[in-house]
């Protein structure tokens, strides 16, 4: 039972690598938009609208719309999930769909590298739908103080936990450790993707797909272990 309690955090760390690398890719390659961090994307949308930069606004609006669609799809998929287990099968289904979308994104970068307007908007939509699905699924998993697609809440929970443990002169609770790992993972994945993009764009675009592929494979493995148990 100890394994089942701790183990989902490993998959969440992998998902954080996915969202961090995808934010780096979308900002640098898809017209300065964010496809997972919707607070930042909303700021970009508002600034573009306020300055009359409607082409820029249309890219941010596409990312926002795609993200919301992803949340709807994931929530619908998980509607009847059995949350008495740590990782219901419908959550794996959500991440499988996300994996397919990210695979399409990667293959486009690998084979076509579209920069025409319709190709750009398609890529923004693919990435944003995938990130919206991931955000909804991780929220339903309800790991304390942790999200993988927006880090403001995670950082707030991390700092709050550290202050409380300092005032009580006690060791930081385990959620604080997980929150620190998620935050540093996100930062590291952005740095890594940015470094790789200047050398091999197709390889950088493979990071989100590969991390979610590992999450799906891990989830299937754990499901088989529970079944055999």
pLDDT (tens digit, 9 = 90+) per residue, 88-119? Answer: 889 999 999 999 999 998 887 766 554 444 57
Q: What is the pLDDT of residue 225?
A: 76
DSSP characters for the chain? -HHHHHTHHHHHHHHHHHHHHHHHHHHHHTTS--SS-HHHHHHHHHHHHHTT-HHHHHHHHHHHHHHHHHHHHHHHHTTT--TTSSS-HHHHHHHHHHHHHHHHHHHIIIII---SHHHHHHHHHHHHHHHHHHHHHHHHHT-TT--SS--HHHHHHHHHHHHHHHHTT-PPPHHHHHHHHHHHHHHHHHHHHHHHHTT-HHHHHHHHHHHHHHHHHHHHHHHHHHHH-
**Is 40 inside a domain boundary?**
no
**Is 46 inside a domain boundary?**
no
**Is 158 inside a domain boundary?**
yes
**Is 43 inside a domain boundary?**
no
What domain count does the chain have? 1
Range of the domain at 216: 2-21+65-228
**Is 48 inside a domain boundary?**
no
**Is 69 inside a domain boundary?**
yes
Model confidence over 24-69: pLDDT tens digits?
999 998 889 999 888 888 899 999 999 989 988 999 999 999 999 9
**Is 82 inside a domain boundary?**
yes
**Is 135 inside a domain boundary?**
yes
Q: What is the pLDDT of residue 108?
A: 78
């Amino acid at each position: 039972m100890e394994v089942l309690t701790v183990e989902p955090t490993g998959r969440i760390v992998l998902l954080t690598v996915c969202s961090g690398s995808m934010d780096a890719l979308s900002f640098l390659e898809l017209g300065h938009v964010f496809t997972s961090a919707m607070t930042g994307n909303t700021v970009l949308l508002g600034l573009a609208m306020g300055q009359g930069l409607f082409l820029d606004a249309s890219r941010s609006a596409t990312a926002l719309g795609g993200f919301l669609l992803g949340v709807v799809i994931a929530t619908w998929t998980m509607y009847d999930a059995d949350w008495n287990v740590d990782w219901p099968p419908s959550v794996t289904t959500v991440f499988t769909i996300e994996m397919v979308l990210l695979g399409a994104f990667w293959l486009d970068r690998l084979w076509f590298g579209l920069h025409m307007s319709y190709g750009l908007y398609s890529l923004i939509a693919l990435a944003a739908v995938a990130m919206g699905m991931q955000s909804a699924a991780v929220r339903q998993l309800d790991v304390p103080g942790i999200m993988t697609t927006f880090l403001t809440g995670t950082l707030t929970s991390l700092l709050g936990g550290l202050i409380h443990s300092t005032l009580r002169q006690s060791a930081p609770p385990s959620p604080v450790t997980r929150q620190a790992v998620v935050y540093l993972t996100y930062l590291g994945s952005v740095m890594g993707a940015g470094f790789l993009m200047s050398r091999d764009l197709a390889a950088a675009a493979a990071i989100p797909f590969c991390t979610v592929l590992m999450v799906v494979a891990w989830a299937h493995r754990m499901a088989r272990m529970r079944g055999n148990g």
